[in-house]
Amino acid sequence: MSRSDIAAWLQDFQTRLCAQLEAADGGAARFGQDDWQRPGGGGGHSRVLEGGDILEKGGIGFSAVEGELSPAAARQLHLPDPHFFATGVSVVLHPRSPRVPIIHMNVRYFEAGNGEAWFGGGIDLTPIYVNEAQARRFHERLKAVCDAHNPTYYSRFHQWADDYFYLPHRDETRGVGGIFFDRLTVGQDGTVAELFAFVRDVAEMFGPFYTELMRENHALPYGEREEAWQLLRRNRYAEFNLAFDRGTRFGLETGGRTESILMSLPPRCGWAYNPAPPAAGSPEATTLAWLRKGVEWM
């Protein structure tokens, strides 16, 4: 299996996922496509939906780029040779209703100039209001995907997600976690075919699960209080992406395409100064109680 085969599958997945989400949103809103080229080699397609019935903003990006990394970027990746090829798909969806969770997923493949190659990715769920049953279902689906490939994957990658999707200055996880993995190395951790099969199954789980949540939650009632809480929680999402997300920082520090890198940010959010903590026993306080490391969802 060649890198062009992997890139072709990822580009097809982007197209199919856009169609799935458009149908689930109601069919009126469409993902626009913005094609771009990287000056050093390769390019991609950024697809963004805005103003949907359910999705206020959704971004699905595909890229396949190559060339030479800056010395700083090569050091950050611990690469003795700066030449590289990378391809992947990244998804972030921001729904209108505070009853529908934010969700993120990305899958990627990287080849270094010294011949080393690896896969990475992750998927995590960020509810504005945690629905315990849906959070457990999410983790059950992830564990089933992981167990089909390696019985150690879920526990390892769930812990990795807890550690990665964490705001240390808030002492909060970004949401209810998920899985995160990086540098699953070809040869050391499996063959190209084996590792790609896992990454492919993670990606394919995304659409069916999230469109379920869209159908189940989008018509639930909410008011000004819930919308205010949504804006506050969205700012936590933005804080993580701008201050801690490795992909965002790596893209900006290496001269990546700014619009594509920042399309993950929410369309609206709010930074109230020193907001009062939610009242004990409130739905908001219940949600905050779930935003911690080490929750065993099953």
The full set of domain ranges for the chain reads 3-290
Taking residue 182's Cβ as centre, other Cβ atoms within 10 Å add up to 15
Q: What is the pLDDT of residue 96?
A: 98
Residue 175: both structure tokens together: 């949401």
What's the pLDDT at 56?
A: 98
Q: How confident is the model at residue 1 (pLDDT cuts 50, 70, 90)?
A: confident
| pTM for the predicted model, two decimal places | 0.95
Q: Is the pLDDT of residue 246 over 80?
A: yes
Dihedral angle over CA of 98, 100, 102, 108, nearest 10: -170
Please tell me the least confidently modeled range out of 17-21, 74-78, 277-281: 74-78
**Mean pLDDT score of the chain:** 94
- Using one digit for the tens of pLDDT, what is the confidence trace for 104-117? 999 999 999 888 99
- In this predicted structure, the answer to whether residue 93 has a pLDDT above a threshold of 80 is yes
> Which segment, 82-86, 188-192, 251-255, is predicted with the most confidence on average?
188-192
Per-residue confidence (pLDDT) for residue 77, from 0 to 100: 75
Percent of the chain with pLDDT over 70: 100
Q: What is the pLDDT of residue 71?
A: 77
Looking at 3.40.1500.10, 3.40.47.10, 3.90.550.10, 3.40.50.10490, the CATH number of the domain 3-290 comes to 3.40.1500.10
- Mean pLDDT, range 252-258, rounded to an integer: 78
pLDDT at residue 196, as a whole number: 98
Residue 163: which pLDDT band, with cuts at 50, 70 and 90? very high
Average pLDDT over residues 194-204: 98
Which residues, at least 6 apart from 19, have a Cβ–Cβ distance to it below 8 Å? none
pLDDT score, position 215: 98
Reported as a pLDDT band with limits 50, 70 and 90, residue 262 is very high
Question: For residue 103, what pLDDT band results from cuts at 50, 70 and 90?
Answer: very high
Q: State yes or no: pLDDT of 250 exceeds 90.
A: no
Of 45, 94, 104, 158, the active-site residue reads 104
pLDDT in tens, 9-67: 999 999 999 999 999 999 899 999 999 998 888 999 999 999 999 999 999 999 999 98
pLDDT at 40: 83
104 counts as catalytic? yes
Kindly tell me if the per-residue pLDDT of 80 is higher than 80: no
Copy the structure tokens of residue 115: 């011949």
